[in-house]
């Protein structure tokens, strides 16, 4: 299993950044319909699933960092 984060969705291609920092491109039709940029995904062969818990944690971390960065 590979874990990554959806980096871009353009036309028929999705770019996923994986744990070691490189990117992999997949056909968009392999994504779940509700997938969006920033979602944490698991990839097994040609099956891509969203890890909803990890996605929520990641979004909270990013929001917290943004709040710290832009504090008055």
pTM score: 0.86
The 10 Å Cβ neighbour count of residue 21 is 6
Exposed, middle or buried, 39 (CB in 10 Å: 0-12/13-18/19+)? Answer: buried
> What is the tens place of the pLDDT at every residue in 11-45?
999 999 998 999 999 999 999 999 999 999 999 99
What are the structural domains, with CATH classification, of the chain? 2-69 (2.30.30)
In the prediction, which pLDDT does 5 show? Answer: 98
If pLDDT is split at 50, 70 and 90, which confidence band does 70 have?
Answer: confident
**pLDDT over 90 (residue 69):** no
Which residue in the block uniquely carries the two structure tokens 């770019």?
15
**pLDDT over 70 (residue 72):** no
In the prediction, which pLDDT does 34 show? Answer: 96
């Amino acid at each position: 299993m590979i874990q990554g984060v959806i980096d871009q969705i353009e036309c028929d291609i999705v770019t996923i950044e994986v744990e070691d920092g490189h990117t992999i491109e997949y056909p968009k039709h392999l994504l779940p319909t509700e997938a969006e940029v920033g979602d944490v995904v698991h990839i097994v062969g040609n099956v891509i699933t969203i890890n909803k818990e990890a996605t929520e944690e990641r979004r909270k971390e990013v929001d917290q960092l943004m709040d710290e960065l832009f504090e008055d």
